[in-house]
Amino acid sequence: MRVTRAVVVMLIAIIVAIGDAHAAASGQSIHFDQANKVFRLDAAKVTYAFGVDDKGRLQSLYWGPRLDASDRLPPAVTPPKADGIDGDINRVRQEYSGWGGGLYYEPGVKITFPDGNRDLELHYQSYSIKGDTLYVTLKDIERAIVVTLEYEMDAGTGIVRRSATISNQTATPVVIEQANAATWFLPRSRDYTLRFLSGRWAGENDINERLVQPGKTVLESRRGTTGMQNEPWFAVRRNDADETHGQVWFGALAWSGSWQIAIEQDQVEQVRISGGFNPFDFGYKLAPGASLSTPSFYAGVTTDGLGEASRLMHRLELTKILPQAPAPRVRPVLYNSWEATGFKVDEPGQIALAEKAASIGVERFVMDDGWFGARNSDKGGLGDWVVNQQKFPHGLKPLIDRVHALGMDFGLWVEPEMVNPDSDLYRAHPDWVLYMNGRPRTEGRNQLVLNLARADVRAYVYNALDKLLSENDIAFLKWDYNRSWSEPGWPAVAPDEQKNVYVDFIRNYYGILQELRKKHPKVEIESCSSGGGRIDLGVMHLTDEVWTSDNTDAFDRLRIQDGFTQAWTPAVMMAWVTDSPTWVNSRTLSLEYRFLSSMQGSLGIGADLNKWQPQDFATARRLVAEYKAIRKTVQQGSLYRLVSPQNGSEQSATESISPDRAHAVLFAFLHSSTENYPYPTVHLQGLDANAKYRIHAIAGTFDPRTPLVASGAYWMHAGIDLLMRGDFQAAAVVFDKE
């Protein structure tokens, strides 16, 4: 075909009309409609759009199910005046705002300048697209404060990652008092319910719901760490949406320090969700020429209910967030010594446990607290990362060699950011902790927090761990963190720089993890914090799994795990089988029940194997082998929460399906029988309706009249009847495509 001049002119005209269009091979696209000044991101089932309004402000335009490629969003405009009292700035759906110009809502960023000025109004400057990321630059109307927003949409899930970088291009330092990663707007409506997670030690992941009404709900941690009091995750659903149906917006922050997510409904019924650094006690001094990047805030939307919202989060974590993404290796079955031996670890005792663990199919043996320094209780030793000579006279090598000879790899517990006052480290460096001059140093679990923001402390922690990993053949670290901050002072730096600790500490923590992973690429790491106190997308980017809860009671765990999977993938959810009756609530449960509860996540064993009888070993051996056959599906498949264990439910059930829908596994629990009621028929979800699946029970029994082979449609619509009576019963059934 001859390309005529007219065709070329026409093509140029089209390109100018639609602006810079970027369609990446990765399945997501970024378009800028030059005429309407509208940015549009599309991927999976989602469209996200915002535009530059007539005054140069960035306005949110659309975030919801994917629009047709031909749809053009109208330009953003200043909304009509509502009253003479508030400036229009409060009705503009600003993607990212400076605090100034009479703004009353959560701003993106708030700054104090050295001359006392605290007014900031950000207007659009320019944009660029690099790879799959859109960068949009804003600048204050007068001063050289430049904010660069990042937008990246995940091709697989349509989840958007947003963050902001604030650059001080003025000639003087400024103090940033608030910095959010993003503000997300929902369609204007009164029809919303917020879901969020709260908890406490040994009681993580309670699911809470409340109507979104005028005012603000703040989810946060002021503890210097992620915390378990709220998880940095939210979901807002339409009031009629539920687990399987309806529209849900959801998101999570990637930050392991003090954080905040605020869900706000204002006087004109705008609903906005903003999140980033916690503004409480925040004051980041930014030198001329320096910049501060916020954490990333990931958020998505679905029309298929809360279950699908969780599955999208899980998929994002598996394919984008985890260090081994997009194809993390399955978690090995591990044994951990903590509940068996406490601080009383020594070479013969650990070897005896290792031998028993290996006999049931354990793949990783982990020695917990007590192996170092003068660590005989939680009162001393933390900070002294040298092997305790009384307990291990020949170092760790004989134990590690024995563990290897038994066919397992070896893992070790550490708590690198902490120090007991009763330690050689603290005696040598009492100024290495967070403290405020002349004030008491509040202890938590008899320990203080090392100030990781200090270069010397960072170097000490890195070197101690690097030495440990270089001198010993260690495959895994359980990295613990057993208290929150108090008196977060940093007296070694100028008073107006001390609050930088909220950011610099966490950046150094991430830096150490990054460097260790680089130097010791085979080492895997678990994030633990007195249970689930440090779980967020930031730490998940640098660690391979997380400790769910110190509460290892298998029944309590059903509720805790159900809350966990709202936000986090079962792939990283460590779940141990421990002794019965359990220390936490004296409940007695069968070994099979305890196994089935833990097999819904990443299986570990934490029981005192010295107390086990031969039949316990036989049960464990059988169930560990069964678990290995289903674990890829459980850990990396799609999770369907069929029956919720919440609100005192008598039953609960989960189902996991492999990505190709060839395998599924059903776990069902009966908490207590009442009267003469049979266990309700369980209807599976997400199977291939036309495929045939053969079933077999791992544990428990089903009605003998049940067909052993039936279609996906049958299992989803006719369902399966499990025979469970009594209290604390459990069953697991596998579905394999024929």
By the rule CB under 6 A, 63 interacts with ligand GLA = no
Task: Tell me which of 42, 384, 422, 550 is the catalytic residue.
Answer: 550
Give DSSP secondary structure letters for 549-608.
BS---HHHHHHHHHHHHHHS-GGGEEEEE--SS-TTT-----HHHHHHHHTTSEEEE-S-
Cβ of residue 552: shortest distance to ligand GLA, in angstroms?
9
Q: How far is the CB of 604 from ligand GLA (least distance, A)?
A: 11
Nearer to ligand GLA, 413 or 564 (CB): 413
- Between 233 and 413, name the residue whose CB sits nearer to ligand GLA: 413
Between 302 and 530, whose beta carbon lies closer to ligand GLA? 530
CA 14 to chain centre: 43
- DSSP E strands in 421-470: the ranges are 448-449
> Which element (helix H / strand E) includes 461?
helix 455-471
The catalytically annotated residue of 42, 480, 556, 562 is 480
Q: Which is nearer to ligand GLA, 369 or 422 (CB)?
A: 369
How far apart are CB 369 and ligand GLA at their closest, in Å?
4
154 noted as active-site residue:
no
369 is a site residue for ligand GLA (CB under 6 A) = yes
* Euclidean distance between CA atoms 227 and 714, whole angstroms: 44
Tell me, yes or no, if 480 is annotated catalytic.
Answer: yes
- Over the window 587 to 626, marking each residue x when it contacts ligand GLA by CB under 6 A and - when it does not, the resulting string is ----------------------------------------
Q: How far, in Å, CA of 650 to CA of 206, rounded?
A: 17
Contact 272, 260 (CB under 8 A): no
Task: Please tell me whether residue 362 binds ligand GLA under the rule CB under 6 A.
Answer: no
The candidate with the shortest Cα–Cα distance to 554, out of 684, 365, 682, 699, is 699
Measured from the CB atom, the residue of 19 and 531 that comes closer to ligand GLA is 531
List the one residue from 476, 547, 669, 679 that touches ligand GLA (CB under 6 A).
547
Cβ proximity of 93 and 126 under 8 Å: no
Burial of 473 (0-12, 13-18, 19+ CB in 10 A): middle
Binding residue for ligand GLA (CB under 6 A) from 243, 504, 536, 550? 550
Name the minimum Å distance from CB 703 to ligand GLA: 40
CA dist 669 to 633, 652, 675, Å?
A: 19, 5, 17
Please state the closest distance from residue 450 (CB atom) to ligand GLA, in A: 17
- Three-class secondary structure assignment of 198-257: EEECCEEEEEEEEECCCEEEEEEECCCCCCCCECCEEEEEECCCCCCCECEEEEEEECCC
Beta bridge partners of 64: 47
Closest CA to 347 of 358, 337, 335: 337
Beta bridge partners of 288: none
| x/- letters, 473..512, toward ligand GLA (CB under 6 A) | -------x-x------------------------------
**Half-sphere exposure of 119 toward its Cβ, with a 13 Å CA cutoff?**
5
In angstroms, give the least distance from the CB of 200 to ligand GLA: 14
Q: Judged by CB under 6 A, which of 530, 548, 566, 706 binds ligand GLA?
A: 530
Tokens of 529: 């914090």
372 sits near ligand GLA (criterion: CB under 6 A): no
Total Cβ atoms within 10 A of residue 720: 23
Segment lying near ligand GLA (by CB under 6 A), choices 15-23, 217-225, 523-531, 637-645? 523-531
**Which residues ranging from 205 to 264 are in contact with ligand GLA (CB under 6 A)?**
none
Residue type, 371: W
| C-alpha 696 chain-centroid distance | 34
107 contacts 101 by C-beta, under 8 angstroms? no
Question: What DSSP assignment string belongs to 132-152?
Answer: TEEEEEEEESSS-EEEEEEEE
Q: Is 528 in the site for ligand GLA (CB under 6 A)?
A: yes
Assess 338 for contact with ligand GLA (CB under 6 A).
yes
CA atoms of 574 and 603, how far apart (whole Å): 6
Among 251, 531, 637, 686, binds ligand GLA (CB under 6 A): 531
Stretch that binds ligand GLA, among 39-47, 69-77, 511-519, 526-534 (CB under 6 A): 526-534
The residue among 308 and 368 lying less far from ligand GLA, judged by its C-beta, is 368
Q: Which helix (H) or strand (E) holds 426?
A: helix 424-428
Per CB under 6 A, the segment of 60-68, 325-333, 527-535, 725-733 that binds ligand GLA is 527-535
Stretch that binds ligand GLA, among 20-28, 228-236, 524-532, 689-697 (CB under 6 A): 524-532
User: Residue 94 or residue 447: which is nearer to ligand GLA going by CB?
Assistant: 447
Nearer to ligand GLA, 88 or 378 (CB): 378
CA–chain centroid gap for 708, Å, is 39
Q: How far is the CB of 576 from ligand GLA (least distance, A)?
A: 9
Tell me which residue has its CB nearest to ligand GLA. 369
Q: In angstroms, what is the minimal distance from the CB of 413 to ligand GLA?
A: 5
Q: Is the CB of 270 or the CB of 530 nearer to ligand GLA?
A: 530
Q: Please report how close the Cβ of residue 482 comes to ligand GLA at its closest, in angstroms.
A: 5
Q: Which of 668, 666, 670 is nearest to 655 (CA)?
A: 666
Q: Is 413 in the site for ligand GLA (CB under 6 A)?
A: yes
E-assigned strands of 329-455?
334-336, 364-367, 409-414, 418-419, 448-449
Q: How far is the CB of 248 from ligand GLA (least distance, A)?
A: 32
Closest to ligand GLA by CB, 402 vs 478, is 478
Q: How far is the CB of 528 from ligand GLA (least distance, A)?
A: 5
Question: Shortest distance, CB of residue 428 to ligand GLA, whole angstroms?
Answer: 23
Using CB under 6 A, which of the segments 2-10, 72-80, 307-315, 525-533 binds ligand GLA?
Answer: 525-533
Of 24-32, 88-96, 528-536, 587-595, the window that binds ligand GLA (rule: CB under 6 A) is: 528-536
Do the strands 259-265 and 215-221 form a parallel or antiparallel pair, or are they unpaired? antiparallel
Question: What values do phi and psi take at 80, rounded to 5?
Answer: -60, 150
Nearer to ligand GLA among residue 29 and residue 225 (C-beta): 225
Query: Positive or negative CA dihedral for 515, 518, 521, 527?
Result: positive
Report the residue number, 345 or 408, with the smaller CB distance to ligand GLA: 345
| 601's tokens | 């996540």
How far is the CA of 624 from the CAs of 283, 410, 556, 621, in angstroms?
51, 18, 22, 5
Tell me how many residues contact ligand GLA (CB under 6 A).
11
Q: What is the nearest approach in angstroms of ligand GLA to the Cβ of residue 550?
A: 5
CA dihedral in degrees (707, 709, 713, 717; nearest 10)? 20
**Residue 435 in contact with ligand GLA, rule: CB under 6 A:** no
Closer to ligand GLA by CB, 203 or 305: give it. Answer: 203
**Radius of gyration (Cα) for the chain, nearest Å?**
27
Based on the shown chain and the rule CB under 6 A, indicate whether residue 667 belongs to the binding site for ligand GLA. Answer: no
Chain centroid, CA 697 distance in Å: 32
Applying CB under 6 A, does 368 fall inside the site for ligand GLA? yes
- Can residue 334 be called a binding residue for ligand GLA (CB under 6 A)? no
- Residues acting as catalytic residues: 480, 550
Which residues are near ligand GLA by CB under 6 A? 338, 368-369, 413, 480, 482, 528, 530-531, 547, 550
